[in-house]
Amino acid sequence: MISNPLQFWKIRNSWLPLCLVLCFMTGCAGNSESPFSPQGEAWIFSDPVELNSYVTSTVLLTGNTGFVCGTDGNIYKSTDGGASWETCYLNQDLAFLNMAFANSDTGVAVGLGGQVLATYNGGEEWRRSACSRPNPLEAATFSTPSTVFAVGGSGMIHRSADAGRTWSEVNPPSFNGLEGISFADSLRGIAVGLGGIIFRSSDGGLTWTEVESGTSNNLYDVEFFNSTTGFVCGRNGMVLKTTDAGESWSQVETMGGSSFRSVSVLPSGVGVIAGESFIWTSDFGNSWEMVEEIEDGGFRCVRLAPDQNGLGLSRRGVVKMALGQ
């Protein structure tokens, strides 16, 4: 078991000393006003827990149970909220780039060579499958408990209707590499990628059409607060917002030109966007608060859990994060 004592401290809106990746699983329902204010809150971080891997993605299923994957074929599991980790899968012939879970039992890890691992019992066992092409898979998401999508190189979108056991190709009208994918509901989805490309589906991912993004900057991630409001982030501080489930997008002023790698939002209206710098909102993205430039190369990905806790991945290890008073 790998462990490290937790030592918390508060960070007001002045600096962020850790590079981290936060990941979570949450639905897309709800649009009530958040009681939190960026000016009145603080983020609380733990000391990093070191892992013997270059970790790339993490999922926090509950306040205690989470997973981390890496490029050396490791998948780690925590049952104490990220304070300690144990290896639950290892195959050094594989390299994982992203993870997604539909619920506490069903999830997938995707990576280089079009390889996919799926679990149906909360990570106790993992089954190997593969997409039809050996392109790297950069991201995955579930639109229903049994329907999962994976995107990656050459602009390919892969769809599985049996929770990752078998896969079929869905060909978008472009060869730009895709970096992120998310669904506002079971029918309406968005995939984003290099060169400012955005694809939209309104039929559960069976077909995809390109929509205007207004930018040529690379876009890396997308998530939805609810069935209509979502955000995309990318290079050179690019942040895009939609309020019509991805039919149209507008640029958000983010007070900086740092590249953003990942966005994570909650139905409560709390959200974070991070990369070389870190911004956050408590009002569904109507306003954003920015902290200072972060250290050690920045965030590879950010995710929050429904209880406003999260897990972070940095060069120094796994970091636990929470929004506190």
The pLDDT value recorded for residue 292 is: 59
For the record, the structure tokens of 182 come out as 């998310």
Binning pLDDT at 50, 70 and 90, where does residue 13 land?
very low
Lowest average pLDDT, out of 64-78, 97-111, 308-322, goes to: 308-322
- For the whole prediction, is pTM greater than 0.75? yes
Binning pLDDT at 50, 70 and 90, where does residue 297 land?
low
Question: Per-domain residue ranges for the chain?
Answer: 2-319
Question: Which amino acid would we find at residue 27?
Answer: G
The pLDDT value recorded for residue 41 is: 58
| Whole-angstrom distance, CA of residue 230 vs CA of residue 245 | 7
Instruction: Give the rounded percent of residues in the chain with a pLDDT score beyond 70.
Output: 84
171 or 158, which is more confident: 158
Lowest average pLDDT, out of 5-14, 49-58, 302-311, goes to: 5-14
| Whole-angstrom distance, CA of residue 265 vs CA of residue 204 | 21
Nearest Cα to Cα of residue 181 among 166, 193, 169, 171: 193
The pLDDT value recorded for residue 274 is: 83
pLDDT at 255 over 50: yes
Model confidence pLDDT, tens digit, residues 119-131: 999 999 999 998 8
237 or 175, which is more confident: 237
Tell me the β-bridge partners of 230. 224, 242
What does the pLDDT average to over 273-286?
87
Instruction: Give the rounded percent of residues in the chain with a pLDDT score beyond 90.
Output: 55
Average pLDDT, the chain: 83
Binning pLDDT at 50, 70 and 90, where does residue 303 land?
confident
The pLDDT value recorded for residue 314 is: 74
* Three-state secondary structure of 25-74: CCCCCCCCCCCCCHHHCEEEECCCECCCCCEEEEEECCCCCEEEEECCCE
What does the pLDDT average to over 281-296?
79
* Three-state secondary structure of the chain: CEECCCCCEEECCCCCCCCCCCCCCCCCCCCCCCCCCHHHCEEEECCCECCCCCEEEEEECCCCCEEEEECCCEEEEECCCCCEEEEEEECCCCCEEEEEECCCCCEEEEEHHHEEEEECCCCCCCEEEECCCCCCEEEEEECCCCCEEEEEHHHCEEEECCCCCCCEEECCCCCCCEEEEEECCCCCEEEEEHHHCEEEECCCCCCCEECCCCCCCCEEEEEECCCCCEEEEEHHHCEEEECCCCCCCEECCCCCCCCEEEEEECCCCCEEEEECCEEEECCCCCCCEECCCCCCCCCCCCCCCCCCEEEEEECCEEEEEEEEC
Binning pLDDT at 50, 70 and 90, where does residue 11 land?
very low
pLDDT at 232 over 70: yes
80 or 174, which is more confident: 80
pLDDT at 294 over 80: no
| Whole-angstrom distance, CA of residue 144 vs CA of residue 194 | 26
The pLDDT value recorded for residue 293 is: 54
The pLDDT value recorded for residue 114 is: 94
Model confidence pLDDT, tens digit, residues 18-73: 333 333 333 333 333 332 234 445 777 788 788 878 888 888 887 789 999 999 99
On whether the 2-319 domain is CATH 2.130.10.10, my answer is yes
> b/e for 64-74, b at 16 or more Cβ within 10 A?
ebbbbbbebbb
Model confidence pLDDT, tens digit, residues 131-166: 888 899 999 999 999 999 999 988 889 999 999 999
The pLDDT value recorded for residue 52 is: 79
| Whole-angstrom distance, CA of residue 281 vs CA of residue 273 | 9
| Whole-angstrom distance, CA of residue 176 vs CA of residue 29 | 31
Q: Best-predicted range by mean pLDDT among 25-39, 91-105, 281-295?
A: 91-105
